[in-house]
Structure 1
Amino acid sequence: MPRRILTSIYLPHAPARVWTVLADFERYAAWNPLNVEAHGEAQVGAKVAMRFLNPASPGAAIRQTVTVTRAEPGRVLAWRGHIPLLFTGDHLFELLGECDGTRLFHSETLSGLIPWRFTEDQIESQFVPAYEACNLALARRLDALENVVPLRFAHQR
């Protein structure tokens, strides 16, 4: 049975701006505490070399090449990591305009023999906080960039 991690955060930035930061894989190392390294392009079918921390094993990092499955600027960014039989992870960032900003839904659906052993309590106590930390780091990154150049309204120019 698949396991699902689902988090959400409101960001006072336009969806197009949030997308720009999420799609900039080369700068993940500067801000992302979950996907700590990524090299590739945010285009459907692209292969992206990633290093991410494993919430189920604190301190452990995993290297994997993922495939971008969805890349709709200002709307959706998703990728899939896969190890036959053992693991499939479908990672998703969905951006919805809300008020003057963005509601970000950040989730992952895990399946295979490895995630099968994760309990709901383990998902809630280990995985959800790691994804929420990523959301907060994204908010801080957007705010920091906003202080350099007023990017919140850049798409309106």
Structure 2
Amino acid sequence: MTDVEYATYVFCANFERCAKEPLAHMAERVQYAQNVYASYHGRSQSAGGGTGETLQPGQKTVSLGNFMLTYYCGCYECNEGYNDAQGRPVGSLGNPLQKNHSIAVDPSVIPYGSKVLINGIVYTAEDCGGAIKGNHIDIYMGNDANSHAECDRLGVNYAEVFLVK
């Protein structure tokens, strides 16, 4: 049994089907995982409508568990006016924030500079925030006229997060 097959079997939510037909069900789950990976190969459309970096062939990931996802933009309400000399919103490291790339994290859970995979998109931990504690990630959604409304529309979501090695 390969690592992918084993992980698919272990993390399957349909325990009854796995118990009755483990090989057939495992094959379906592996095919599903391969289809999901193929759909994200190259560039992908993220929840926020922009393109983001995706996992490249050969990159390994490790699950960090389920996280609460919220969204923020470059407006004063969301980013409290943290801007560089050019007026671009910056994260706590002083780097300009990038839409569908930058995330705010609890650095004791996800260290700064770490790359994580969320719903097929690779993000970089470049910011933190007072409300970002534990398994909570805030995804930066840009600084255009529609960004704040988009953040409100997306609301709060939950997803499994993977550390990209």
- TM class by shorter chain equals under 0.3
Who wins on radius of gyration, i.e. which is larger?
A: 2
Q: In proportion to residue count, which structure has more helix?
A: 1
TM-score with structure 2 length normalisation?
0.27
TM-score with structure 1 length normalisation?
0.28
Q: In proportion to residue count, which structure has more strand?
A: 1
